[in-house]
Amino acid sequence: MKKTGIVRHQIYLKHKTGVLHPESPQRLQAIYSMLDNRAFGDAVVYIEPRYATLDEILWVHDSRYVDRVLDSAEKARVRFDPDTVTSPKTYQAALMAAGGVMEAIKQAVTKEVLNAFALVRPPGHHALRDQAMGFCIFNNESIGAYYAMKAHGLRRVLIVDWDVHHGNGIQSIFYDNPSVLYFSVHRAPFFPWSGEVSEIGAGEGEGYTVNVPLVPGCSNEDYGNIFRHLLRPIAEQFRPELVIVSAGFDTHHDDPIGSMNLTPEGFARMTALLMEMAALSCEGRLVLALEGGYSPEGLRDSVEMVLWELSGNSKIDKDQMQHAEDAHYERMAETIERVKGIHHRYWKF
């Protein structure tokens, strides 16, 4: 029986951001402690991460920027921007974060595992070609998408970003590339002040960037409706060969930053819907990479629910959740119709 792969490693805890920084090692410590104390048993298997090679990092990032990251090695602190700092082992953690995502993708693509969750840090979706940003050093998901295409010959990759922040780095890297469809649902206006519904890609990539900006306070039902009525029809037409998720948990109702109202069950519901989409188009090949989430307890509980879902031990009532989504559809109707109105030239709804 195929299992759910989990990437974890102590090096990710060596990226020290400072006592008051929200993107702290305590986030992963809470998750790792949960993994050690839950009876996932034979449903999961651990995937050993590796360091990304320089060539792999250069698929996405400018060489001068990579040199700056490597030059931070063993230095007490380098500040790349007001939010993004390094410690002596950050460069190792960043290389291993990208490498961990690639190893998860490798095992999913080769069917060693059914699906996978890379529990890594530092996160990646804000990192631009030539600069760190928003706690992110290397763009883990973008490197992973290139790896899937270059090392495994995939032609179509879907990246779904459910972090509360727009993944401006992923968007910019693939903005003119029709091989990667980027779908982001995020709070707006909010950092990094991008991700308007009018940002749809450029050139050959026009229509392959889909942004769904939301107001604060959105719920499980709201996200479920966006996934069902926007993402699913687009995914069915795009037919991805791999689905990568920028899995941020800062939309949890207890998160100190996000101002959204998702529960752990809501994250499991989004995961279930993505599993259905992946099953239809790419034999279930689904890889999640950890992004935000700044309530350690909320992060822990939400990741646990996602892992139960990925491993086939669902703890949610999907029929009941769909009924609730149907009952609350009107709350998202205007947003959904606005996105459809812009993207109807590229996708059938």
Query: What pTM value is reported for the model?
Result: 0.98
Residues 6+ apart with CB under 8 A from 70: 91
pLDDT tens per residue, range 141-194: 999 999 999 999 999 999 999 999 999 999 999 999 999 999 999 999 999 999
Long-range contacts of 193-198 (CB under 8 A, 24+ apart): 194/166, 194/168, 195/166, 195/167, 195/168, 195/171, 197/338, 197/339, 197/342, 198/342
Please pick, among 15, 126, 166, 186, the residue that the annotation labels catalytic: 126
Cβ–Cβ < 8 Å for 102, 57: no
pLDDT band at 2 (very low <50, low <70, confident <90, very high): confident
If one looks up domain 4-343 in CATH, what number appears?
A: 3.40.800.20
Angle at 125 between CA 120 and CA 130, to 5 degrees: 110
Cβ–Cβ < 8 Å for 220, 259: no
pLDDT tens per residue, range 207-265: 999 999 999 999 999 999 999 999 999 999 999 999 999 999 999 999 999 999 999 99
- Taking the C-alpha atoms of residue 84 and residue 133, their distance in angstroms, rounded to an integer, is 6
pLDDT tens per residue, range 33-69: 999 999 898 999 999 999 999 999 999 999 999 999 9
pLDDT of amino acid 1: 59
Q: What is the mean pLDDT of the chain?
A: 97
Cβ–Cβ < 8 Å for 289, 101: yes
- Taking the C-alpha atoms of residue 87 and residue 14, their distance in angstroms, rounded to an integer, is 8
Cβ–Cβ < 8 Å for 241, 285: yes
Q: How far is CA 115 from the centre of its chain?
A: 14
Taking residues 7-13, what's their average pLDDT? 98
Catalytic site includes residue 126? yes
